């Protein structure tokens, strides 16, 4: 814990605590019951509320109560729900309307009257670290369908086991025996149709793509075992042999699949839904009227208005006298840049100026670099857990082995006895007892437990097969601005402020607090906590690209660039506070490292990972930061454009590269790397296009996912070892003709329970060594 923020883990937690205390909302901590997840630094967020303006226009056009659906990011527990509901009540929402929250979907539904201050409520919620946006997600989850199938198949399995118990305990003939036998077979048919179809369909699609994953042997086991039971029921003994075991197996496999799907959906639901460029909005000036329009309709020559904090969607020629923009998404440079009239602001820049500026689009939106940078969500490409090359090879060997053993058993017993029905019964027994129960349910449970623990640590995995892929990474490529650093500036010589009098500190704090310029924010933060740092009324004026000035008690106060703030430039320092042209203090600002970044880099280096910094910032700045962190100078690469970043990853074993970045300029390179992650949960598009994202203030989540992957692999290997040992015993009994339906009905659930108990024991919170 950083002593600067004690007893808080980071600045975000301290800021939120202050807001909750001031508003009388400290009951949140009583309801939370345990440590929560830290919010992102509230001042580093860029919030775009153009979507809210459209909703307000729609509300104004309607009369009476209106229905508003919003997506919400950041809900973690019941305390979050209470907090948002309490803010709704305090804004008068409960008097004339109602609100419902679905944390699983990340969805808020409001029914409010025209008098309800929707904008104020949204601001109050987002002041606490949450993010709101228009409802874009469909609200339909694959796990809901799976859960329904689990319920049906579990009920079928329970009934079939009851019927089987009666027959195993002595019921051999009579009308009740016939009825139970027929009901068991019918239930087995329903289980295969309802539950087995999930795996059969998945296996069929995989085979068509010439890809093998674990669904293939599961589907093969279901199909062949059902075929054997069907043959026995219609053409042999009249009894649906092993149908009870098959029905239980289908139910257990569905539980495993539901576990896989549930946590990934919860992690994805933590983010605002993202439909890429379709959701981008901008302000267009047409016939003297400002309208909010979708960016996809922008044409060359259109006049756009870019407000404070807005994203520039296309290359824009500035019409105003000046504009101040940040290009950190483009080149990694966190300091704002000044654009004069006639100059072109590149697409992907953000307006950091206090005032809006206008410009002319120099191209259609289809030609904007943003279209190429906003790539496909990797979650749409993955097959889920247990779908990597290693699992594909295992599935291939498993399928070949099972089919070969079953064929060998049928051939041997047919040759030995001359009875094809007995031979088929032996083959069916082999197929039933070798169904991959151990890792069909225990392995998904292992993934579920690891994902849950990562989630509690503030790490959210979005793509199912990520924990399998990341285990083979040997190189970690970091972006600089916003990844190794927080993306914000800090005063590197705060001791210089001690030379100021208390009155001067009050003046300096009041000027700095009125400006959103990153250097002014750094100065204000450096003064926080000082007794004299109080906000007083000042008439300030900000000059874009230079600084902020004010008149007070007949004296001129200036905070900004040395050559502008003072008559004589100060020796050293990139921001100066001057009174009547006389320098009072010269300050140095530099990028703020993430908490514990140096220790985490040293730890990753000690574990043998090759570490690289790949940034659009200047080479000198990248080398200075990288060497300070202990990274070799030759591995600190600056001045790289997005295409150059992608080319580097492509040329350096992309299959073994994990890239961690936070800007649009990292998107192309992320698509080349095998794995990707980001801390940029409060920036549009980034987290929804990475394999994982993290909300913790430091860099330790990167090491956590790597160690979690190793721990998971260790447990899964032991699960597979148990499965192999179990199959050796069970197959030996089946091939020897000693396997009976009741033995299979006991062995299969028993083996599953043993592996589940072992998995829970090994992955309990107390035993996980990778936890921070």
pLDDT per residue over 19-38, tens digit each?
777 777 776 666 665 555 55
Same domain, 85 and 171: no
Question: Per-residue b/e over 114-128, b at no fewer than 16 CB within 10 Å?
Answer: eebebeebbebbbeb
Same domain, 479 and 606: yes
**What one-character DSSP code corresponds to residue 438?**
H
769 in a structural domain? no
Report, as an integer, the average pLDDT of 536-553. 83
E runs forming strands in 561-671? 575-579, 582-587, 589-593, 610-614, 636-637, 657-660
Report, as an integer, the average pLDDT of 494-499. 89
φ, ψ (nearest 5 deg) of residue 109: -115, 125
697 in a structural domain? yes
Same domain, 578 and 671: no
45 pLDDT more than 60: no
443 pLDDT more than 90: no
Report the CATH number that the domain containing residue 128 is assigned in CATH.
Answer: 3.30.70.100
Report, as an integer, the average pLDDT of 574-578. 89
Kindly indicate the confidence band of residue 637, based on its pLDDT and cuts at 50, 70 and 90: very high
Tens-place pLDDT, residues 137-180 = 655 677 788 889 999 999 999 998 888 888 877 887 888 888 98
Q: Of 488, 495, 493, which is closest to residue 592 (Cα–Cα)?
A: 488
pTM value? 0.72
Q: What is the pLDDT of residue 473?
A: 93
Tens-place pLDDT, residues 51-91 = 888 888 888 888 788 899 888 877 777 778 888 888 888 88
Residue owning tokens 């410009």: 359
Distance CA 681, CA 281 (A): 20
Provide the residue range defining the domain that includes 318.
276-373
Report, as an integer, the average pLDDT of 257-279. 69
Q: What is the pLDDT of residue 5?
A: 39
Work out how many domains the chain is built from and give that number. 5
Same domain, 623 and 644: yes
Quote the mean pLDDT of the chain.
81
E runs forming strands in 580-648? 582-587, 589-593, 610-614, 636-637
Same domain, 280 and 355: yes
> By the 8 A CB rule, do 679 and 693 touch?
yes
526 in a structural domain? yes
Kindly indicate the confidence band of residue 4, based on its pLDDT and cuts at 50, 70 and 90: very low
Same domain, 472 and 621: yes
Sheet arrangement for strand 539-543: 539-543, 547-552, 555-560, 575-579, 582-587
Same domain, 576 and 549: yes
Same domain, 699 and 643: yes
């Amino acid at each position: 814990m950083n002593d600067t923020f004690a007893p808080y883990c980071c600045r975000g937690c301290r800021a939120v605590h202050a807001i909750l205390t001031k508003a009388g909302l400290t009951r949140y901590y009583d309801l939370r019951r345990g440590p929560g997840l830290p919010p992102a630094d509230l001042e580093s967020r860029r919030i775009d509320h153009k979507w809210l303006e459209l909703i307000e226009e729609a509300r104004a056009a309607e009369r009476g109560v209106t229905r508003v659906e919003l997506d919400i990011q950041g809900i973690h527990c019941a305390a979050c729900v209470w907090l948002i509901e309490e803010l709704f009540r305090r804004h008068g929402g409960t008097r004339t309307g109602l609100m419902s929250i679905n944390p699983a979907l990340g969805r808020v539904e409001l029914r409010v009257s025209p008098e309800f201050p929707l904008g104020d409520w949204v601001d109050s919620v987002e002041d606490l670290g949450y993010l709101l946006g228009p409802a874009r997600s469909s609200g339909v989850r694959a796990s809901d369908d799976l859960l329904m199938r689990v319920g049906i198949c579990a009920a079928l399995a329970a009934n079939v086991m009851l019927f089987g118990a009666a027959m195993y305990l002595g019921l051999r003939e009579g009308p009740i025996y016939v009825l139970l036998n027929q009901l068991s077979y019918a239930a087995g048919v329903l289980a295969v149709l309802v539950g087995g179809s999930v795996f059969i369909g998945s296996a069929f699609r995989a085979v068509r793509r010439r890809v093998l994953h674990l669904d293939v042997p599961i589907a093969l086991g279901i199909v062949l075992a059902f075929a054997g039971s069907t043959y026995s029921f219609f053409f042999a003994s009249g009894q649906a042999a092993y149908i009870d075991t098959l029905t239980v197996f289908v139910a257990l496999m569905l539980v495993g699949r539901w576990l896989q799907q549930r946590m990934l959906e919860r992690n994805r639901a933590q983010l605002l839904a993202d439909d890429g460029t379709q959701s981008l909005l901008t302000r267009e000036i047409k016939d003297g009227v400002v309208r909010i329009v979708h960016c996809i309709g922008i044409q060359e020559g259109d006049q756009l208005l870019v407000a404070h904090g807005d994203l520039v969607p296309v290359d824009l020629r500035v019409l105003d006298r000046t504009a101040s923009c940040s290009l950190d998404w483009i080149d990694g440079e966190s300091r704002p840049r000044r654009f004069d009239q006639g100059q072109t602001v590149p697409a992907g820049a953000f307006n950091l100026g206090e005032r809006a500026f206008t410009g002319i689009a120099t191209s259609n939106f289809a030609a904007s670099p943003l279209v190429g940078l906003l790539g496909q969500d990797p979650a749409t490409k993955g097959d889920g857990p247990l779908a990597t090359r290693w699992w594909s090879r295992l599935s291939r060997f498993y399928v070949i082995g099972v089919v070969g053993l079953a064929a060998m058993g049928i051939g041997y017993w047919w040759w030995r006895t001359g009875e094809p029905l007995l031979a088929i019964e032996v083959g069916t027994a082999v197929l039933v007892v070798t169904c991959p129960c151990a890792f069909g349910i225990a392995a998904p449970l292992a993934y579920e437990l690891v994902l849950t623990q990562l989630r509690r640590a503030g790490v959210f995995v979005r793509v199912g097969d990520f924990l399998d892929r990341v285990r083979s990474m040997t190189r970690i490529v970091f972006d600089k601005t916003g990844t190794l650093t927080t993306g914000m500036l800090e005063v590197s010589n705060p001791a210089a402020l001690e030379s100021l009098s208390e009155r001067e500190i009050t003046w300096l704090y009041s000027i700095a607090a009125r400006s959103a310029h990153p250097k002014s924010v750094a100065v204000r933060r450096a003064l926080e906590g000082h007794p004299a740092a109080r906000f007083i009324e000042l008439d300030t004026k900000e000059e874009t690209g230079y600084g902020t000035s004010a008149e007070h008690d007949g004296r001129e106060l200036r905070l900004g660039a040395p050559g502008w703030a003072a008559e004589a430039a100060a020796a050293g320092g990139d921001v100066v506070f001057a009174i009547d042209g006389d320098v009072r203090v010269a300050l140095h600002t530099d990028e703020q490292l993430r908490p514990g970044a140096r220790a985490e880099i040293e730890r990753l280096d000690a574990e043998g990972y090759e570490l690289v910094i790949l940034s659009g910032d200047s080479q000198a700045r990248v080398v200075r930061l990288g060497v300070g962190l202990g990274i070799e100078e030759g591995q600190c690469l600056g001045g790289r454009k997005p295409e150059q970043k992608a080319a580097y990853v492509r040329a350096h074993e992309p299959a073994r590269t994990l890239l961690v970045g936070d800007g649009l300029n990292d998107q192309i390179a992320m698509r080349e790397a095998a794995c990707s992650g980001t801390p940029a949960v409060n920036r549009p598009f980034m987290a929804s296009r990475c394999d994982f994202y993290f909300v913790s203030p430091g860099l330790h989540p990167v090491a956590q996912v790597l160690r979690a992957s190793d721990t998971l692999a260790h447990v899964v290997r032991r699960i597979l070892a148990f499965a192999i040992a179990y199959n050796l015993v069970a197959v030996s009994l089946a091939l020897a003709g000693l396997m009976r339906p009741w033995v299979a009905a006991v062995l299969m659930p028993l083996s599953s329970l043993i592996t589940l108990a072992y998995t829970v024991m090994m992955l309990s919170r107390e035993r996980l060594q990778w936890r921070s």
